[in-house]
Amino acid sequence: MFSLGGRIFYIAYNQTDSAAVTANSRVEYYGSGRGLIYDKNLLKLVETQKQTRHSVINPAFSFEVPQRYANNQLCPHLIGYTDAENNGVSGIEKDYNAYLKAIPNRLILKTYQDARGKILAGKGTEPDTSECCTNSGIVLTIDSKIQSIVQTAGKKLGSGSVVVMDSVSGDILALASFPAYNPNHIAPAIKNPDKPLINRALYDYNIGSVFKAVVCLAALESGIKPSFSYNCTGKYNCGGKVFHCHKETGHGAVNMKEALAFSCNTYFITLARHIGYEKILEICRRLEIDKPISLSESIIAQAGNLPHGDDLSSPAALANFSFGQGQLLATPICLCRIYAAIHNGGYLPSPRLVLGKVMNAQKQYSKEQAKKVLRKEDTSMLMEFLSFGVRCGTGQSAAVENCAVAGKTATAQTGKFIGSKEKLISYFIGLFSIKSDKYTVLVMRENGISGSVDCAPVFKEICQKLLEEKEE
């Protein structure tokens, strides 16, 4: 009996001790507690690097946990950032906050202690990875390799933006705004006078000579032949107002292809007067310059500003309009889309950023079809003009060996001055193909010098790196 009583006491004691251990386990949670964001190839755009942490309860226990944003985060202006409670504040993080928060994605640490709070030897702290996210989240059209190339090359712009679009589908393969910011440290970005939190690809700007391609399209549709010629003397008197060409001595006699390649302002003033503003405005509306472009709930490119017909009734106003000045405004994404339509034979693609959701590798994607808005014969002619501009015109600094590049430079006046110096917006929009893939690349710089000096070399670097990447 004595032996049996001792055995019962032993069992009862150990069961009580085990229960006490379980009752005194303390739990910590680490990680974002959010689903992931992927590029088009299901490569992670967030949580790509880890950081070493120590348990608060058991400081001797160290472990690794993903850091939501890298120190050199890809596409921060699109992904956005979260607050201290891991709620999305901007970008995709904000627009898909409810969905992303429904995916636990966290590491659980359990630390076992005795009744006195002492960590139990042999049991200590145990990690539980059962709620760590594997492959659930939001999938973007971004190609992380192209995005990395763009963010490196675009730093030279200082302030501006770069957009890389699939010319056929309209998918945004890369989008960067400069200066960039670090989502891990928002306070410095808020105080920065250069406003790095602004996504410059979504804002309206004066567009300058890249608009001349639209005027060419209106001319060709109106039946004006590419051989239409004008003798540029360097200036044009229009209702008492003198407009100057960027080449002060003039370009001499030029046809449509040469005028676009050399960016001859006086030629386009003459051409617009032959076309009439109604036809040019019609093409602009077909190309949806006056409509916003929605990439997600909060990532929306502003509607451009088109002058009304009454605004263009004066010869001077039409002259300004003919080479992209005056009241005309558009966003970089809008301009990229227009040139994509030229590149793909006249179909205006619907720009897309979000492919869809992926849950346990089950993809849910949909796509809006492109609209036919231009005649193929006109876009083919314009591609010839734009190719000539890179070979022999203002776009020569964008030429890439072993790659046929077409494109247009621009240097737009803003009417805004710093002291006596006017602020200029410079552009290069380039079109090229690698195998079956067609790319439209827009490079824009604020406070620029000229498109050929500021933007064409950045385009060239992007194109060369992309060629190398494809060859590999």
Q: DSSP characters for 90-108?
A: SHHHHHTHHHHHTS---EE
pLDDT, tens digit, for every residue of 67-91?
Answer: 999 999 999 999 999 999 999 999 9
Nearest to 135 by CA among 365, 362, 366, 364: 362
Q: Is residue 263 within 8 Å of residue 212, measured between CB atoms?
A: yes
Residue 436: phi and psi, rounded to 5, are -95, 0
- Sign of the Cα torsion 286, 291, 293, 296 reads negative
Question: For 250, left (φ over 0), alpha (ψ -120 to 50), or beta?
Answer: left
Q: Is residue 61 within 8 Å of residue 55, measured between CB atoms?
A: yes
pTM for the structure as a whole: 0.91
Torsion of CA 353, 357, 362, 367, to 10 degrees: -40
Neighbours of 73 (CB within 10 A): 22
Neighbours of 165 (CB within 10 A): 27
Alpha-carbon span 398 to 389, nearest angstrom: 10
pLDDT, tens digit, for every residue of 114-167?
Answer: 888 888 887 888 888 888 876 789 999 999 999 999 999 999 999 999 999 999
Q: What is the pLDDT of residue 131?
A: 85
Q: Is residue 202 within 8 Å of residue 333, measured between CB atoms?
A: yes
pLDDT lower than 70: segments of the chain:
1-23, 134, 359-367
Q: What is the pLDDT of residue 135?
A: 76
Q: What is the pLDDT of residue 163?
A: 98
Alpha-carbon span 126 to 119, nearest angstrom: 12
Helix boundaries (H) for 68-198: 76-79, 91-95, 97-101, 144-153, 186-191
